[in-house]
Chain A
């Protein structure tokens, strides 16, 4: 499996200011009985987007959302905490997001996202505040240079695990790299049965 290679993304943002947005919010457990990765986009943030009767909520940050122009989700601190469900990044990706930015992102969610072509990155508090305060702003993420440009004059560096970055830029998954270590794995098993 592979996905589109990620290099430079220029797009508008959707902002969810709340802190501690857990993976149950991103995709409720009632949508987890699927045995597929596909088709989860329609269920992403379902209870945030729809009321009891299944009608779109007027207050939703997703109003006016256009997957062609809004590919970056900006969220409050500790985004993606809680459950390890990979359905969360699958759903965000299938909904149309290609990147998630926060001041800090939960470990398992970040790891899962980067393995699925969803760039999950953490920026400094000042840049984060600036992004939170300008929903819908068009920003640029340059993965190769590891820079988020909020505007021409406001740019910030971000860190990313180098191997995940390389895989994203090449659009390849990590299993191939892991499989290439099978000889070492076999040797390890012989040494330590």
Chain B
């Protein structure tokens, strides 16, 4: 056995306060706890019932994203909440943060946004940190070489009270993407191809590390998209070793180390990557060069296929059930299906690079008549940056809507939702039945595919729009 350690091993070891035993899990220290309005109120209630304080408010950051409207306030400054309960939930987080001295990037704050967008963008997310949030897409932060995973509300309470969680060390899996991506293929396509390959539970019980040439070549935004989707393969943790791309991205961010501290941090971060010969419980290899633009056609993220494919014949009861719901004509190209709505946003694909990708396709073109298209930036900062580049004008000129930052139609609990029966091409992460509204049929795709589909009014391969279509695709 080699002594070589993986990135995951190193991060785990660094944060163990009490080692796990046969009888009890490890006590694992958490460097950064991100909270939002949906999964925190009951945790604060437990604290209040027991007379406990937030142990480390300085390691806790709150934002509002899930229940917040994406339409601007009216002339009286009132926001159009979906329900009075949604408003109350937002007010509850504001009150809890005030009571417990937790910093909240609330409504009107230029730092507000989707929790998994703002952590990295502010430099709160850093290599080597442990990061948790009551949200399964916390895996996103692993893109920086952090150990980040979603927790339940009881555990949110545990972290608020002790800055620790009780965890057993998961098994480790390495997913290696060999070769280079073809033009017009993005991190979202890699994620969907990977999930199709290993299944929606293929990563269950594992911490995943993504590696290989195609991963190293990804931008930080692309790595975030990939790590974000690891939970859709069942893995709570997805991570990428930090490298020059990471450091370049980190430098100068609000909460990133400065001056001498930056040099110390950099030296430390360089020691984190997985060493040659480190053991993984499981390893899979994927030929990145063979990946084409992908969509999902079922009701689980592993039902994914190339955009250019035909709807497959169901082989199992589950597939039949999904096919009955999605209503693609069996044996016919997915591109036959008319699209009713397009959503570009979510913690998976709402960053500046995602909006640029969509704008490249929508520039000078019109959204197909009748296709409602929502573009929802991931944060106030993304919104400002996009507007500085006039991307919003591209979307508005194309006939799309340009909204305020938030989770919006990904989880559809703020009032942004599709109508029953609609086919929605979405850059979000889950195609579950009813996720985007009762009876809504969700097709997951990259921002490029979503934008091209909005223009054509049917599911569309984006590559001809990007000048990168291959003959044999």
A residues near B (Cβ < 8 Å) are 1, 17-20, 22, 24-25, 28-30, 32-37, 47, 52, 76-78, 81-86, 104, 106-108, 111-112, 115-116, 161-163, 166, 173-175, 177-179, 181-182, 184-185, 188-189, 192
Contact = CB atoms under 8 A, between A and B. Distances in A.
B316 to A, nearest CB: 8
Contact of B46 (A1, A108, A112): A1
Given A33-B86, A185-B163, A185-B164, A177 B152 contact: no
A108 B434 contact: no
25 contacts: A17-B317, A24-B430, A33-B83, A33-B88, A35-B92, A81-B234, A82-B136, A82-B231, A83-B430, A84-B135, A86-B39, A86-B42, A86-B153, A107-B170, A107-B204, A107-B205, A107-B236, A111-B155, A161-B168, A162-B23, A178-B166, A181-B17, A181-B18, A184-B18, A185-B17
B154 A116 contact: yes
A34 B90 CA distance: 11
B337 interface: no
Given A32-B38, A35-B89, A163-B25, A83 B153 contact: no
Given A22-B432, A24-B435, A33 B29 contact: no
Nearest to B205: A107
Contacts of A189: 29, 163
Interface string B146-164: 0000111111011001111
A111 B153 CA distance: 11
Interface of B: 14, 17-18, 22-25, 27, 29, 38-39, 41-42, 45-46, 49-50, 66-67, 82-83, 85-86, 88-89, 92, 134-136, 150-155, 157-158, 161-164, 166, 168, 170, 200-201, 204-205, 231-232, 234, 236, 299-300, 317-318, 321, 411-413, 420, 430, 432-435, 438
Contacts of B231: 82
A25 B432 contact: yes
Contacts of B136: 82-84, 108
B419 to A, nearest CB: 12
Contacts of B432: 22, 24-25, 82
A175 B157 contact: yes
B24 A177 contact: yes
A78 B200 contact: yes
Given A77-B201, A84-B152, A181-B17, A36 B42 contact: yes
Contacts of B66: 32
B162 A185 contact: yes
A104 B152 contact: no
B234 A178 contact: no
B157 A185 contact: no
Nearest to A107: B236
Given A86-B39, A175-B158, A178-B164, A20 B434 contact: no
Contacts of A161: 25, 168
B162 A181 contact: yes
B52 to A, nearest CB: 8
B39 A184 contact: no
Given A78-B204, A82-B430, A175-B46, 13 more contacts: A29-B411, A34-B89, A83-B136, A83-B430, A84-B136, A84-B150, A86-B39, A162-B24, A173-B154, A174-B166, A182-B162, A184-B17, A188-B29
